[in-house]
A and B are shown apart, each in its own frame.
Chain A
Amino acid sequence: SQQGEEDPQALSIQEGENATMNCSYKTSINNLQWYRQNSGRGLVHLILIRSNEREKHSGRLRVTLDTSKKSSSLLITASRAADTASYFCATDLGITPLVFGKGTRLSVIA
């Protein structure tokens, strides 16, 4: 099935650095969403970017979408230890439920 694929699978950075995660997908989408999962907890929605948008910001989060390359990136600026979590992209095709990728595990070291 069509699926977003995050890259890298795992990322370890120092506190204060920026973290960038990428998501690639295979077919046309209505929108792409990013979610965060703290260890052992449910996913929490972070940000949604529609197919006609190229960039979106929310606090320290910046999401870009390139529909020609079928890819998106999530940038977390000035990372904090509390940002340590797994991050998932999910693609919305409009007629079926979201399809989630396998996630990127981010570790922010204080």
Chain B
Amino acid sequence: DADVTQTPRNRITKTGKRIMLECSQTKGHDRMYWYRQDPGLGLRLIYYSFDVKDINKGEISDGYSVSRQAQAKFSLSLESAIPNQTALYFCAISRGNQPQHFGDGTRLSIL
């Protein structure tokens, strides 16, 4: 089993829809992260959580929200999707400040 599992892997939806991307991990790491990747822009941090009761905004949190339901689960929501949120989304985990482990991403297209 993968250490970090993202669902769905691909999603096509329409403007205005509410979208939830799920991330779960099997390593028991405390920290979880959501990133967005756009061509030529690298990875940009959306939200991160250092523990179940800890939620922090990243560089580009506007238009997104998250929920850390349990140690192993971290969900990203787009309340009302817009076309410029079309991107590749990655979840990552780490134990403290150790190197991060990434999921294989969710490719999201908003029409």
* Chain A contact residues, CB within 8 Å of chain B: 1, 30, 33, 40-45, 48, 88, 92, 94, 97-103
- Which residues from chain A contact B69 at a C-beta distance below 8 Å? none
> B105: which of A42, A44, A88, A94 is its contact (CB, 8 Å)?
A42
- Which residues from chain A contact B97 at a C-beta distance below 8 Å? 30, 92, 94
* Interface range on chain B (Cβ under 8 Å from partner): 20 to 34
A-B pair count, CB < 8 Å, reads: 45
- Which residues from chain B contact A102 at a C-beta distance below 8 Å? 40-42
Q: Which residue of A lies closest to B47 (CB)?
A: A97
CA distance A30 to B98 in the complex (A): 12
By secondary structure, the A interface counts as loop
CA distance A33 to B100 in the complex (A): 10
| Known contacts A42-B90, A43-B90; A100 and B43 CB within 8 A of each other | yes
Task: Pick from B31, B33, B42, B45 the residue with the most CB of A within 10 Å.
Answer: B42
Contact B99 A97 (CB under 8 A): no
Contact B42 A98 (CB under 8 A): no
Q: Which residue of B lies closest to A43 (CB)?
A: B102
Q: 30 interchain pairs (CB within 8 A)?
A: A1-B59, A30-B97, A33-B99, A40-B88, A40-B105, A40-B107, A41-B104, A41-B105, A42-B4, A42-B90, A42-B104, A43-B43, A43-B90, A43-B92, A43-B100, A43-B102, A44-B102, A45-B99, A45-B100, A45-B101, A48-B99, A88-B42, A94-B97, A97-B31, A97-B33, A97-B58, A99-B45, A100-B42, A100-B43, A103-B42
- Which residues from chain A contact B102 at a C-beta distance below 8 Å? 42-44
Task: Pick from A1, A45, A97 the residue with the most CB of B within 10 Å.
Answer: A97
Contact A88 B43 (CB under 8 A): yes
Q: Which residue of A lies closest to B48 (CB)?
A: A97
| Nearest CB in chain A: distance from B87 CB, A | 13
CA distance A10 to B52 in the complex (A): 39
Please name 10 further chain A to chain B contacts, defined as beta carbons within 8 Å, in addition to the given A101-B42, A102-B41, A103-B42, sorted by A numbering. A40-B104, A42-B102, A43-B43, A43-B100, A45-B101, A92-B97, A97-B31, A97-B58, A98-B100, A99-B45
